[in-house]
Structure 1
Amino acid sequence: MRQLILSTAVLAGMAAPAAAEVELSFYTGWQTLPHSRLSGELPNGGGSYDELVGWDGKSFQMPPYYGARATWWRSETLGFGLEYTHTKAYAPDSTKNALGFSRLEFSDGHNVLTANVLRRWPERWGDLTPYVGGGLGIAFPHVDATHNSGSRTYGFQVTGPAMRLLAGVSYPINDRFSMFGEYQFTYSSNEGEFDGGGTFNTDIKTNALNIGISLNF
């Protein structure tokens, strides 16, 4: 899956016009998740379930929360690109105990990949450049779930559509590098499977405050 993401980014880069400004951005930050409903069928004939889950993001625990964005600025103000975010979602002990799981998490990423459109306002606030953006794409989390019935689910699944919204401001360090801070929201609708015949359905929403660095060329 990660090889597919890299290949897509390379192909998109080859297709971009040579005259366009290319900006590569890398970030980390503090990511949280509001409550959402988790429903479906428990593995191995355990019956249906429907729980309100208070997901935990654990931004600074390994593997950490991070993201990368490639933007091709077609003009001083309008850009298009690709963005990958490695968000995380852990079910609390209360949910796991109620449903019979010892592990229930998207911890090697509740991964989101989107195609973005961005708008910026250079020299609007002196050296500071505000920007906003949004994108549509897919979610492909790494599902890590162990159920008391003997079911063990561990691997990537493409679970449904995703979107993101972002707003931030960047500041140039020199001609090539800039630093930025931003707020970012992601939403995804997820339908997946547990080994042993179980299923899950949940909408995952994240709120994040990001800091990062960009390379321009």
Structure 2
Amino acid sequence: MSRALIVIAHPDQRSLTHFVAAELETAFASQGISSEVADLAAEDFDPRFTRDDRSSYQGLRAIPDDVTAEQERIDRADHLILVFPVYWWSMPALLKGWVDRVFVNGWAFELTEGGSVAPKLAGLTIHLVPLAGSDASAYDRHGYRASIKAQIEHGVIDFCGARRGSMRYLYDSETKPQAVITDEVSLLARDIAEGARESLSEATAAKL
């Protein structure tokens, strides 16, 4: 069975972030895909990249246990979905710290003796769901969408060799009527889940 891991980093259980995660869970279930939500705020994940993290990056000590636990649940997933409000044109600090600590040398990529990088996440598809307070025209006009694409899609997903999944913005997230947002979230979640099921079907067919 295909599996999805939905990662969120918002302290308010009533937030749009949590609502999107719940809708994704429902949509994945409708497609026969098992899903799990990693609520980093509720789980009190420590986003600080400490001296121990630095030492493990250098290969001088084992990866910290809390990081290993995160890597293990990503390893169980075929699809990773990051749902986040856009803070200062990037991820919230908690989610960025999660990426900093979890996507490390020896697991997400390998630094070779010659100085090149060998990606290690080829079996994972990563989807992004940024929740934007502004409208689409503002993101295009100021280059914010291009910036986020470069930072996350190229800088993280491509670097680790994962597949790019959906990039689905929810614009005007603080000003649209609730009914409009609900409909958009439902459609967004359905599209991502259907795309995940179709990619699984294609992968299965390729093996036959």
Q: TM-score, normalization: structure 1?
A: 0.25
Task: Answer 1 or 2: which has greater strand percent.
Answer: 1
Q: TM-score, normalization: structure 2?
A: 0.26
